[in-house]
Structure 1
Amino acid sequence: MVRSPMTPEDDQHREKMRLLDEVIDRYKDSPGQLIRLLQQAQEIFGYLPEAVQCRVAERMGLPVGEVAGVVSFYSLFHRQPKGKHSISVCMGTACYVKGAPEVLSAIKKELDIDLDQTTADGMFTLTDTRCVGACGLAPAIVIDGEVHGRMKAADVPALLASYRNRSDHDERDVHITEDREEKSPIVASPIGTIEDLTASRERHAARFFQRLSKEQLSKLPDFASVAAAPSTSRQILVCAGTGCTSSRSVELRQALQRELARCGRDQETTVVPTGCFGFCELGPVVVIHPERVFYCQVDPGDAKEIVERHIGQGEVIERLLYKHPPEGASRRTIDENEFFHPQHRVALRNCGVIDPEDIDDCLASGGYGGLAKALTALTPEQVVDEVTRSGLRGRGGAGFLTGRKWAFTAAAPDSPKYVVCNADEGDPGAFMDRSILEGDPHAVLEAMAIAGYAIGARQGYVYVRAEYPVAVHRLEVAIDQARQRGLLGEDILGTGFSFDIELRLGAGAFVCGEETALLRSVSGKRGEPRTRPPYPALSGLWGKPTLLNNVETYANIPQIIVNGAGWYAAMGTERSKGTKIFSLAGKINNTGLIEVPMGTTLRTIIYDIGGGIPGGRAFKAVQTGGPSGGCLPAQYLDTPIDYDSLIAVGSMMGSGGLIVMDERDCMVDIARFYLEFTQDESCGKCTPCRIGTRRLLEIITAITEGKGEMDDLDRLEELGRDIREASLCGLGQTAPNPVLSTLRYFRHEYEAHIREKRCPAGVCAALKPKGKYRIDAEKCRRCGLCVRLCPVEAIHGEARKTPFVIDAERCVACGACAQKCPAKCIAQEGA
């Protein structure tokens, strides 16, 4: 028989299988690494064909069905080839309310494909995702891992054309790679004792203290003299969080460095990449020290002017300053900015202040001081007692007392024990955990080591979303640096305590935010929740006692240990101590990340910090707690935010997402949106969640299509209560909350959809009247009320000067303008 000659495709396949075998060899003896193995296999092949799944199963000694079950469970695994470019449209709440459906429709039209399809030329594959954690850039899409924010439907053709013309080597990736290569490697001088830790901090303290305000310095008794010492040097801090990076902050940083070198000022002025300042929508953000001048929306093209005028001549560049709404007055420094005034940063204290990829910056800020104190001045029992007396409650949603959880795990008789960090931040509209990991990853590593000492564990795991590549990279860097310096590993600080941490990447499953589902995923299984008890404190990872907290909870721990339980308990309310981070998104002027004391009112957050509603529109509702929370109307703006007060009014704290909505949002459609999310993300293990949420969605969808009946409202309430009481895990137990809260506070909108077959906000397409509206120019008083009321910005004109005109192409015929027009000069065509 004559054998056919080998083709290039055969050679390529053989090479890919060889690389796959290398990956399998790397992980086959490490427990729980099936998901990571499959992620790397997908990187090699572009997808996971059946042959690859069988090869993995055979060499790992696993049933093929187990491997196939994992592949089918997680949304980031693909069983079919994908296009050269992968487009994912974020449909998280912040993006949804700011126009993501229109952007998605434009992409479908431009490419002539639907979701989960690939173009005929193999160029693009289109998918959607529930949240990419870039809420400050809403609406956002991700192409090949690159986030494009503030998208409009009109931007789609040009953006897709740029990818069609792009070479295989992505120019943006080159910039990021070069930027990382420019950083000098950390010199691994081991920190073997407390004295070494103190000496390292003192060596780098001056550069850190220059970035603090006088008020912040006054609260630091040690090294105050170093901090107050005059310095002729300057530091330019540039945000390198996801939001600003997506707005070209990497290029900006490089441009600043080039300009400083060109002007001969690179020895006296340092450019420092930092984590998120919190001003996500106004990035890239630049803060120049010691003046503390705060610039926003800085373009790489502004670098020359900043270096020549500000650094060279001491001039402040007015056009780059923050303008506070609604009056638009400039704020010169970060201290003058109202966005920061009500805030008190504990978990976020180093975000926007230190270089997250430089452990010396972390040490200069006091990093690992809490671990040093715990290991040398406190017994494990005393550490647990400090956490308990602080009153810290879990920041992941349920609000369980952290100290009590630690005490349960410490008392568990079995061993070994594990410490796990839940960084699977899947709530649409939530990005606080991502920002902590990007801005101060060592705070989480330090806290986990403290927890390991307190409960008697030697091993920790961080389970982080694969959709957060910047956070993953910075965690990898931080873990490596901590090991080099002896702050992770054997005999930490010469105390005999040993503790290490590994990463586990999620693969796209919202339910893995639930603790039992997460632990199954850490062990390489399908992330399906199980009944409790037993709780993870007694039987968790691999059946052993496991302490599980989320990122924000851990980020508070080092400061509690350093400053004492009483310091932390003095903040907040009687039953909700400390501070809370909120991601503020939706119809708000200052989209971003904030940290305020528990008990701060919604009004303070939305109007004082958030700057109010854009365009002078009316506030309608705020969604708290993500898909598990509720929608609260204006009557609760003065509600102090804490765990108990939110539950009392029909919502919940959740992870801390706050989505603001104005009069252009339909609350029935919002409830439908959240139900669609939870129904899609249900793991299907229990009937109340799997079937119940589907029935809820069917009923509410019929209402938005004008097919509802008044009896449906009673059905929604009854079914919602049943699902809440009978579901297995937190996802199903809280899934009806958005429906029940909107029924409670916005029942009139449901009734309008059912009785009048009308959507008051003009959102629900099936209920939009056929005839458009027009304005009688002779009767128009030119007051501008119709402009403020229009949900789709279809009315144009200049108040008090010219009659207003309705753009027939944009008009959705909702009738809002006609109902409120004082001159009664707006009428529907054909009426």
Structure 2
Amino acid sequence: MERSASMERLDDLNKIISQYKDSPGQLIRILQKAQELYGYLPEDILGYIADKVGLPLSEVAGVVTFYSLFTTKPKGKHTISVCLGTACYVKGAPNVLEAIKKELAVDMDQTTADGLFTLTNTRCVGACGLAPAVLIDGEVHGRVKASDVPELIRQYRQRDQEGGTTTEADTGTNTVTDKTDSLKNHLPPSQAEPIIGPVLSLQRLEQIRHSYAVRYIQRMHPDQVPDWVFQKADHTLAAVPAAKSYRHQILVCAGTGCTSSRSAEIQSTLRRELQAQSLDGEIAVVHTGCFGFCELGPILVVHPERVFYCQVTPNDVPEIVERHIVQGQTVERLLYKHPPEGASRKTIDENEFFHPQIRVALRNCGIIDPENINEYIASGGYFGLAKALTAMKPTEVIETITCSGLRGRGGAGFLTGRKWAYTAAVKETVKYVVCNADEGDPGAFMDRSILEGDPHAVLEAMTIAGYAIGAQQGFVYVRAEYPIAVHRLEVAIDQAHQAGLLGQNILGTGFSFDIEIRLGAGAFVCGEETALLNSVSGKRGEPRTRPPYPAVSGLWGKPTLLNNVETYANIPQIICKGADWYAAMGTSGSKGTKIFSLAGKINNTGLIEVPMGTSLRTIIYGIGGGIPKGKAFKAVQTGGPSGGCLPAEYLDIPIDYDSLMKIGSMMGSGGLIVMDETDCMVDIARFYLEFTQDESCGKCTPCRIGTRRLLEIITRITEGKGTMKDLELLEELGHDIKEASLCGLGQTAPNPVLSTLRHFRHEYEAHIKEKRCPAGVCPALKPKGKYRIDGEKCRRCGLCVKVCPVKAISGEIRKTPFAIDAKLCIACGACAQKCPVHVIAQEGER
């Protein structure tokens, strides 16, 4: 039989299969690599893979159809994917999506007639500080407006014609390649020195730490310098050469947000400028993980002065070098301006965004080079592991974690030490440690930032956990949509192996432990522990009934310990500093600190870590800088799709697990989405229901059918077709779904509906009784939804024409008033926002 076109690259495919087929649970990785090879997964290729790995075609096809990142249909040359996560949604992503549909003349999951573009959407890319975000060929374009769409598409068409590349300067948006293989174009190689290893003893670890102390402490506030710096190292072994010291260290954020804003180019430009002035021997340029202040990227901090520069561009670099490095003066215009008064803040210590924060899980993010194990050791890294292996019994490690009061940071808040104890108690020779890095909550990006900024902390914690429960193998299950995090995990694992801190006979103690990475393939339900374990083993990510719990029967039927990234990131510090130190922070029932991703209608979008019990008011108005443009606060969504929407009356409650549960919400992974007076709470509830209904695995009827019925009812209400009886039905059905669903996704899916009904019932009633959306969001309840220009007041400036994404406005600059064609108008509002005299409004508003 003649080979099909898709069977022509079998040599490459065979190499992929042979690389992974002998490792358990690697079917998903083989399929991911095959899709990279062919662009999609043709039917005959699926049959070939099934035959080679010894599985039925039905099982392989079942995996492919379960995960959203797999496709069995050819796509266009460019794939455009609009992020519809919560932060992007409330900041205008639907308008951007409509503009793209108009520009390309396609609907969702369709390809343009010329075969150039396929349009899709994605639920969250973990880049909430860049909302609204659009991915094109895996590149994240941040802060996209509907008016940007024509130029964005034009640039990609032009690139195809000229064979060139699209840049941030071309499109006017923030861009980062979101493909691991292309990271070299956006992340300059780390300037790390060779690994000083292998590290075979605690004494050797101390020598490396002291060697790099000179560099590490220059980045610290004097009050934060750790005690060990003043202690003399044990030099009974061969001395470690002292690390080079510098007059200044310039730390440049290389997290996803700043990378999308050209921080890699800033680093390269800095190095060239310093070399040109013969300063490269005196000044170090270091790329770090996320500082947390995503709204103001790219961020650059100069040490030892700790001067905090934000929204830096490559063009600003010569001035920074000349004025700050050479002349010793501050570049005032690049300093942070605190809202609302706009006063400058010179140093990171003066910045209100950082004042209430206490960083434990985020302690190294923005401080060390995440691709340099020596810097991690200098920060105290791997000393928790050394202490556990050399000075503690496994039971003592578990007791320390238990007494600290640490609760799981991924959702329900189960006591971490208790989970470790359950797993350790099972009499089984083979056990596993798994890290849940499948951060799928729209609006949550804390796990991504930890993995990008401090990957060794997670590896160290997992190794400590392996020692405590009696496991020798760990797996990190991470979203494929997080390639920078994946890249840094791979680098960290390789370095830990070279240093002897992963693998056989760690620190000469006889304990062995190793870690592998498993990539997700697009399924929110895989955040549920049993679904995640199925996915790690290469199967459909469907949850199963419990008991047995994973602690007894998890991965491949063996006892398995599963925690998320943030939970693990706390472990090394708890072991080093003790349970009492950690338990002294937080509240009686919720110890320690919590990371929150602050996004939506907030001045300071970013990632923060505060003690448990901090109030919403402190976070939103103190750290977050309040609501933009003087708008009124309406609600904050906590806990993502599983949580609830809280009104202003709860701004002063302490945020902890128990307080949030009492008022109908939950901590979840820590997403905080702020909404203002222009947001419709009925529409927000519909948005979350649409998400959970779409992400339901379909295994149990209450979730599969129940969420669909909820969505149908609430959609009717947003269309002005609801009745008061529908509100009773929503509540009754919501409670039934919570009680009867198989896993956490279904059990919490009704929460956004129930919480908005509880706190914003008047908005539901307005939609039903008055056929009116108070916020003016729901399209069916707008008078007509189109915009018009008051011709008598029009200044004829033509600014509206330039921003209209669908060319619906006509007129002549300085000669004739402009007018909007109602048939073409998509009601995106770009023209009204741009009009300097505010003479453009929706029909019915004036």
Q: CA deviation at 1:327?
A: 0.3
Structure 2 equivalent of residue 200 of structure 1? 208
C-alpha distance 792-122 of structure 1, shift in aligned 2 (>3 A): closer
Shift of residue 770, structure 1, vs aligned partner = 3.5
1:321 to 308, 331, 335: 335
Q: Which residue of 2 aligns with 1:538?
A: 552
Q: Does 1:176 align with 2:176?
A: no
Q: Please say if residues 421 and 549 of structure 1, whose CA atoms lie closer than 8 Å, have aligned partners that are also in contact.
A: yes
When the two chains are superposed, the root-mean-square deviation of aligned CA atoms in Å is 2.3
Do structure 1's residue 263 and structure 2's residue 277 form an aligned pair?
yes
Whether the 8 Å contact between 2:195 and 2:499 is mirrored in structure 1 is: no
State the shift of 1:169 in Å. 6.9
| CA deviation profile, 1:608-635 (whole Å, cap 9, x unmatched) | 0000000111000000000000000000
Amino acid corresponding to residue 240 of structure 1 in structure 2: A
| CA 1:409–1:628: 2 relative to 1, 3 Å | same
Task: State the distance in 2 between where 1:128 and 1:146 align.
Answer: 14
Corresponding residue for 2:637? Answer: 623
Q: Are residue 220 (structure 1) and residue 213 (structure 2) matched?
A: no
> 1:274 and 2:288 equivalent?
yes
Shift of 1:204: 1.1
- CA distance 1:131–1:297, change in 2 (3 Å): same
Code of the residue aligned with 1:202 in structure 2: it is H
The runs of 4+ residues in structure 1 deviating greater than 2 Å are 12-15, 165-189, 219-226, 229-232, 770-778, 790-798
- Partner letter of residue 109 of structure 1? K
| Structure 2 equivalent of residue 25 of structure 1 | 18
2:525 maps to 1:511:
yes
Q: Structure 1 pair 184/361, CA: closer, same or farther in 2 (3 Å)? A: closer
Q: Deviations over 1:59-107 (max 9, x none)?
A: 1110000000000000000101111111111000000000000001111
- Separation in 2, partners of 1:62, 1:128: 31
Which residue of the partner structure matches residue 173 of structure 2? none
Which residue of the partner structure matches residue 77 of structure 1?
A: 70
Query: Quick one: which amino acid aligns to residue 52 of structure 1?
Result: I
TM-score by length of 2: 0.90
Please give the secondary structure, in 2, of the residue aligned with 1:334.
coil
Hey, what's the Cα distance between the residues in 1 that align with 2:561 and 2:621?
38
SS at match of 1:336: coil
Q: Which moved more, 1:442-451 or 1:169-178?
A: 169-178
Whole-angstrom CA distance in 1 between matches of 2:752 and 2:513: 42
Which one-letter code corresponds to 2:204 in the other structure? D
Contact 2:475–2:515 (CA under 8 A) maintained in structure 1: yes
Inter-partner Cα distance in structure 1 for 2:56 and 2:87: 41
Q: 1:795 to 1:324 in 2, by over 3 A?
A: same
How far is 1:222 from its partner? 3.4
Alignment-mate amino acid for residue 229 of structure 2: D
Q: Secondary structure at the match of 1:337?
A: coil
Separation in 2, partners of 1:797, 1:457: 60
Equivalent pair of 2:601/2:673 in contact (CA under 8 Å): yes
Query: What residue in structure 2 maps to residue 36 of structure 1?
Result: 29
Q: What amino acid sits opposite 2:324 in the alignment?
A: H
Q: TM-score, normalised by structure 1?
A: 0.92
State the distance in 2 between where 1:600 and 1:184 align.
Answer: 38
Change over 3 Å in CA distance of 1:188–1:76 after alignment to 2? farther
CA distance in 1 between counterparts of 2:157 and 2:196 reads 44
Distance 1:179 1:340 in 2: 26
Distance 1:797 1:96 in 2: 21
1:697 aligns with 2:711: yes
Instruction: Mark the CA change 1:175 to 1:307 in structure 2 (over 3 Å): closer, same or farther.
Output: farther
Superposition deviation, residue 221 in structure 1: 4.3
Unmatched segments (≥5 aa) in structure 1: 779-789, 816-827
1:186, distance to aligned residue in structure 2 (A):
3.1
Aligned partner of 1:823 in structure 2 is none
Is 1:308 the counterpart of 2:322? The answer is yes
| SS of structure 1 residue aligned to 2:118 | strand
How many residue pairs get aligned? The number is 788
SS of equivalent residue, structure 1 residue 573 = coil
TM-aligned CA distance change 1:327 to 1:517, over 3 Å: same
Give, in whole Å, the separation in 1 of the partners of 2:245 and 2:361. Answer: 29
**Equivalent residue number for residue 686 of structure 2:** 672
Give yes or no for contact 2:790–2:840 (8 Å, CA) kept in 1.
no
Shift of 1:163: 1.4
1:425-444 deviation line (CA, Å, top 9, x unaligned): 00000000000000000000
CA contact (8 A) 1:175 1:250 kept: no
Q: CA deviation at 1:805?
A: 4.0
1:598 corresponds to 2:612 = yes
Cα distance change, pair 225–279 in 1 and its aligned pair in 2 (3 A)? farther
In structure 1, the residue matched to 2:255 is 241
Q: Is the CA contact 2:246–2:283 (under 8 Å) kept in the aligned structure 1?
A: no
Please, which moves more after superposition, 201-210 or 316-325?
Answer: 201-210
Please report how far the alpha carbon of residue 220 of structure 1 lies from its aligned counterpart in structure 2 after TM superposition.
3.0
CA distance in 2, matches of 1:306, 1:677: 45
| 2:664 is aligned with 1:657 | no
Equivalent residue for 1:746? 760
Q: Kindly indicate whether the alpha-carbon contact (under 8 Å) linking 1:186 and 1:481 is maintained by their aligned counterparts in 2.
A: no
Work out the CA distance in 2 between the residues paired with 1:220 and 1:141: 46
**How many angstroms apart in 2 are the aligned matches of 1:210 and 1:306?**
19
Partner of 1:211: 219
In structure 2, the residue matched to 1:345 is 359
Give the match for residue 296 of structure 1.
Answer: 310
Deviation at 1:24, TM superposition (A): 1.1
Aligned residues of 2:639 and 2:672 also touching (Cα < 8 A) = yes
Mapped to 2, the partners of 1:612 and 1:320 lie a distance apart of 21
How far off its partner does 1:119 sit? 1.2
Tell me: CA distance 1:812–1:630, structure 2 relative to 1, closer, same or farther (3 Å).
farther
1:664/1:791 contact within 8 Å kept: no
Match for residue 807 of structure 1? 840
Give 1:444-593 correspondences, 5 Å limit: 444-593=458-607
Aligned to 1:162: 155
| CA distance in structure 2 between the aligned counterparts of 1:634 and 1:690, rounded to whole angstroms | 33
Cα distance between partner residues in 2 of 1:165 and 1:472: 32
8 Å contact 2:502–2:514 — kept in the other structure? yes
Separation in structure 2 between the aligned mates of residue 717 and residue 160 of structure 1, nearest angstrom = 44
Q: Give the secondary-structure state (helix, strand or coil) at the position aligned to 1:166.
A: helix
Shift of 1:190: 0.8
Give the structure 1 partner of residue 380 of structure 2. Answer: 366
Deviation at 1:166, TM superposition (A): 2.2
Alignment of 1:121 with 2:114, yes or no, is yes
Deviations 1:779-803 (A, max 9, x none): xxxxxxxxxxx996887899xxx9x
Q: Distance in 2 between matches of 1:362 and 1:467?
A: 25
- Residue 716 of structure 1 is matched in structure 2 by 730
1:282-337 Cα shifts (integer Å, max 9, x gaps) = 10000000010000000011111111111111110111000000000000000000
* Residue aligned with 1:502, SS: strand
**Aligned residue number for residue 650 of structure 2:** 636
Take 1:812 and 1:452, find their aligned partners in 2: how far apart are those partners? 64
CA apart distance, 1:233: 1.1
SS in 1 for 2:229: coil
- Determine the C-alpha separation between the residues in 1 that align with 2:348 and 2:515: 36
For residues 534 and 216 of structure 2, the distance between their equivalents in structure 1, rounded to whole angstroms, comes to 41
Q: Distance in 2 between matches of 1:129 and 1:601?
A: 32
2:269 aligned partner, one-letter code:
A
- 1:220-258 Cα offsets, whole Å, 9 max, x none, are 3434799xx997610000000000000110111101111
Aligned-partner Cα distance in 1 for 2:183–2:455: 23
Q: Distance in 2 between the 1:18 and 1:230 partners?
A: 48
